[in-house]
Copies of this chain bind each other. A is one copy, B any other.
């Protein structure tokens, strides 16, 4: 079972550091394989895409079938039950409402010398979204990536989703439709990333690629970074629950297991001020693990990476939490707002016992693509900001140039950059000659 730590133990610091440093993922080095696939797609285009797709996905298609037609999407979508469709529509609507508030405003103002300063935001022109095939093909992830892109104003949004054995996921295609995805391609793996980054006869290149994927997809994203922008490379999922003893042990257990069931490398942690609750949650996890469908995965994750930490008070909990910098942080305490104010490093906060983390995965509104592996110390979850870029703006007037130009000239000289200084001086000289 999961390990137990207590801040009262003299060994705590050592044990906690070990927990923080635990290597949860062994990524095999596939860089060479991926480099070959990317080079192949770059040089042979569609021909390579077709060949690789037919081989890896056990199908037999031609280039004309790389793109999934609208009528095919219609046919697949028709298979979705009314209940599933309504749930997905509710999720799309709530995610759209939340992300619409993230659109950053342009700014423009005049300084004391009459210079106009500011910046302008524009959407990335074209974006590509990778969607895994098979078991990890989640319609919710399509919404979480595609909706922010469309809210940002991305004009062309292309999805690549492998369809092993020719089998499509109707809910994934419905999510594409609901989110306003413009193009869908039945391609996966590093070849899909290469096509999005460099383009082929059928797939026009994009400027930014987001979305989760296996180790080949992750390596391909790393390799094409620079040619295009990419989102973060996400690691295994994590949850930290902080409790003051008031939460229902079974609810907490289920919240911990809802991360553990994702992946054997997922990490579920509980920090509690109440040793009795620690025991109760541990027992509840064990009980639930007996019947859970994904008990093998969840059990391994809990056993290997799970932990229950008892602390003296909530301040201690907040301090440990900031060191963990969890992807998901549930505050199951009497006054979650007060505790939340003490938290700095967390991808997403879930306040109070009525906010299970699973709400955030689907219908809360906030994004479920969040920083893992302690990166909440310096990065944020996916948002509209990932699909826009800022252009700064400056417009000097003759008066403004007279006021600040000489300082620029001075600094250019100090840095040994003569042309920089001359470009200012030439203009100042004319202003002085003209008596302006």
Residues of A within 8 A of B (CB): 83-84, 86-88, 90-91, 94, 97-98, 101, 104, 107, 109, 111, 115-117, 119-120, 122, 124-125, 135, 138-140, 171, 207-208, 226, 228-229, 233, 248, 250-251, 254-255, 257-258, 260-262, 288, 292-294, 298, 336, 340, 343-367, 370-371, 373, 375-381, 383, 385, 389-398, 400-401, 404-408, 410-412, 414-424, 426-427, 430
The complex places the Cα of A135 from the Cα of B417 at a distance, in Å, of 10
Instruction: With A124-B377, A139-B415, A408-B358 as known contacts, state yes or no: A420 contacts B258, CB within 8 Å.
Output: yes
Beta-carbon contact of A394 and B348 below 8 Å: yes
A430 contacts across to B, CB distance below 8 A: 248
> A359-B396, A380-B390 known; 19 other A-B pairs, CB under 8 Å?
A86-B407, A87-B408, A87-B410, A104-B104, A115-B364, A120-B349, A208-B377, A229-B378, A248-B426, A254-B426, A347-B391, A355-B401, A358-B419, A358-B421, A359-B401, A363-B407, A364-B394, A367-B392, A376-B391
A371 contacts across to B, CB distance below 8 A: 389
Beta-carbon contact of A261 and B419 below 8 Å: yes
Task: Report the copy number of this chain in the oligomer.
Answer: 2
- Nearest B residue to A367, CB-CB: B392
A88 contacts across to B, CB distance below 8 A: 411
- The residue that A424 contacts in the complex, of B340, B359, B379, with Cβ under 8 A, is B359
A254 contacts across to B, CB distance below 8 A: 419, 422-423, 426
Beta-carbon contact of A344 and B125 below 8 Å: yes
